[in-house]
């Protein structure tokens, strides 16, 4: 189930962005990889390219950021369908 990012607290969204950056960017060869990644990911969330996926039946992870184009059409809200992921 996709949760609109504007329904999350700022702290919760920042934590999801941080987790996404650590998972996807790792230790890129730049001075402060997380700073650059956080900005890019926040923009992608704002554009709807990355969405918050809530997985209530997964005991290890209840929410994560995922590219919208990797979801089934029935998981993406109508206003986000047709947009590309980063």
Those residues with Cβ within 8 angstroms of residue 22's Cβ, 6 or more apart along the chain or in another chain: 34
Extract the tokens encoding 28.
Answer: 């890129």
Number of domains in the chain: 1
Residue 85 lies inside a defined structural domain of this protein: no
Q: What pLDDT score does 86 carry?
A: 44
Residue 50: CATH number of its domain: 1.10.10.610
Residue 58 lies inside a defined structural domain of this protein: yes
- Per-residue pLDDT of 31-83, as tens digits, reads 666 788 899 999 999 999 999 998 888 787 689 999 999 987 655 554 444 44
Q: What pLDDT score does 80 carry?
A: 44
- Residue found by looking up tokens 């919760």 in the block: 12
Residue 86 lies inside a defined structural domain of this protein: no
Its pTM stands at 0.73
Task: Find the domain containing 59 and state its range.
Answer: 2-80
Residue 9 lies inside a defined structural domain of this protein: yes
Residue 41: strand, helix, or coil = helix
User: How many angstroms separate the Cα of 63 from the Cα of each of 20, 21, 31, 53?
Assistant: 11, 15, 29, 5
């Amino acid at each position: 189930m996709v949760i609109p990012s504007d329904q999350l607290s700022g702290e919760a969204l920042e934590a999801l962005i941080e987790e996404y950056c650590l998972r996807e960017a790792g230790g890129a060869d730049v001075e402060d990889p997380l700073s650059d990644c956080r900005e890019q990911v926040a923009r992608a969330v704002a554009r709807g390219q990355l969405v918050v996926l809530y997985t209530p039946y997964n005991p290890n992870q209840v929410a994560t950021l995922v590219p919208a184009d990797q979801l089934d059409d029935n998981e993406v809200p109508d206003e986000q369908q047709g947009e590309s992921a980063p």
